[in-house]
Amino acid sequence: MKCRKCGGGAALELRRHNAAFCKPHFLEFFRNQVAEAIHRHRMFTRDETIMVAVSGGKDSLALWDVLIEQGYRTAGLYLDLGIFEYSQESKAKCESFAAAREQTLVIERVSQTVGAPIPEVQKATRRPTCSACGLSKRYLMNKAALEHGYPVVATGHNLDDEAATLFGSVLHWQTEALGRQFPVLASTHPKLARRVKPLYRLSELETAAYAFLRGIDYIVEECPFARGATSIAHKEALNRLEESSPGAKHNFLFGFLDKARPAFERAEPVELRECAACGQVTTGDICAFCKLADLVKRRSETTAPRPGDTMNHGSVAAHHPSGRES
Ligand code: Q46
Ligand code: ZN
Ligand code: ZN
């Protein structure tokens, strides 16, 4: 295999592009794809400071790395979800990444705002863990951006993530979600930060290769709740399609963005107001996050201490099952 650009030995073959690249030319390809995403969708300018939401995984750290390297002003945001050892290890990766590059890292603890770590929040809702987690993450990202004065939040969603989300929405014909699926979500209210996905043109394989070639130390383990999540099943189905027909994922996502999405866009923007409890933006009186936090609070008040519990007050739900706050 030879590099398409220089004819030297290739480090990576990209079947969907019918091309192979050596290390420097792959890194150039990666940066160009990110630059194209930023430019095409006017994601941000060099005058803005971008808050990069990092999980400690390859995608978000690759994103932060490429933005720093391209000279953008950035700050990291790590949301500590309180998910056992996974959260401790992923936080440590983000902290050492930020320290090595002398970047600001804002850390927000979910247990502080919601009243309990994610595994306990799930018990209060009795809905899939990822739905309470996703809601909390979106809320806290926006809250942190507002409080720290950052106009835009960038996430590490890649082409595989976006294609899997699209596949899930199409399977259930979730037309609202289809209308919202886009690499940029504009700020439609002074209290809403813009949300952007500069890696949407790059596959998971490509972000992994970038992280490896740049020597980024990321957490390889997935969140324990990712196992069995429907999004994983959707990714596997798309990977099988991709194997027999390279470029299928790309065509599925890009075809939707170019040709189908306008049909799902709302003619009228939704009316937004401020939550009566927390002041963040919502469509009702009380936002979904405050309702969730209230549910967690009520559960912790009614949860009677079990035999063997060392605590004799009603805050069992606010603690890690192992007795250690993460
Ligand atoms: S962190 Fe949260 Fe994910 Fe874990 S609980 Fe689900 S949504 S899988 S990206
Ligand atoms: Zn080359
Ligand atoms: Zn609220």
Report the atom number in ligand 1 closest to the C-alpha of 118: 5
- For residue 301, which amino acid is it? E
Note the pLDDT of residue 313.
Answer: 38
- Ligand minimally distant from the alpha carbon of residue 121: 1
**pTM of the predicted protein model:** 0.91
The ligand placed nearest to the CA atom of residue 290 is: 3
Q: What is the pLDDT of residue 307?
A: 55
Q: Looking only at Cα atoms, what is the longest distance across the chain? A: 71
Residue 90, judged by CB atoms within 10 A of its CB (0-12, 13-18, 19+), counts as: buried
130 lines ligand 1 (CB under 6 A): yes
pLDDT at 137: 97
The per-residue pLDDT for 306 is 54
Distance 3 CA to ligand 2 centre (A): 5
Query: Strand 73-80 relative to strand 105-109: parallel, antiparallel, unpaired?
Result: parallel
* Ligand nearest to the CA of residue 24, numbered in listed order: 2
**CB 226 less than 6 A from any atom of ligand 1:** yes
Q: What is the end-to-end Cα distance of the chain in Å, rounded?
A: 47
CB contact at 8 A, 189 and 232: no
Residue identified by tokens 């926006």 is 142
Sheet holding 105-109: strands in order across? Answer: 105-109, 73-80, 49-54, 152-154, 194-196, 184-185
| Inter-CA distances, 287 with 245, 276, 284, 301, Å | 43, 8, 6, 21
138 lines ligand 1 (CB under 6 A): no
CB 225 less than 6 A from any atom of ligand 1: yes
> For the chain (length 326 residues), average pLDDT per consecutive 10?
95 92 97 98 97 98 98 98 96 98 97 94 89 95 98 98 97 94 95 98 97 98 89 94 95 97 84 95 95 92 61 36 34
Contact 78, 52 (CB under 8 A): no
Q: How many angstroms separate the CA atoms of 304 and 314, rounded?
A: 7
The answer, yes or no, to whether any atom of ligand 1 lies below 6 A from the CB of 223, is: yes
Our answer on whether the CB atom of 129 is closer than 6 Å to any ligand 1 atom is yes
Supply the residue whose CA is at minimum distance from atom 5 of ligand 1. 130
Q: How many angstroms separate the alpha carbon of residue 101 from the centre of ligand 2?
A: 27
Q: Going by CA atoms, what residue is nearest to atom 6 of ligand 1? A: 130
Looking at residue 51, what DSSP letter applies?
E
Cβ burial of 50 (10 Å; 0-12, 13-18, 19+) is buried
Q: Residue 293 CA: which ligand is closest?
A: 3
Using CA atoms, how far apart are residues 182 and 180, in angstroms rounded to an integer? 6
Between the CA of 23 and the centroid of ligand 2 the distance, in Å, is: 7
Rounded-to-integer distance, Cα 313 and Cα 91, Å: 30
What pairs with residue 282 in β-bridges? 273
Mutation pick for ligand 1 pocket among 85, 120, 130, 160 (CB with most ligand atoms within 8 Å): 130
Q: Which amino acid is at 151?
A: P
Helix (H) or strand (E) holding 251: helix 248-255
Ligand nearest to the CA of 26: 2
Atom of ligand 1 nearest to the CA of 134: 7
CA 25 to ligand 2 centroid distance, Å: 5
Contacts of 192 (CB under 8 A, 6+ apart): 142, 272, 281
Q: Is any ligand 1 atom within 6 A of the Cβ of residue 134? A: yes
CA of 227 to the centre of ligand 1 (A): 10
Q: Which residues pair with 2 in a beta bridge?
A: 9
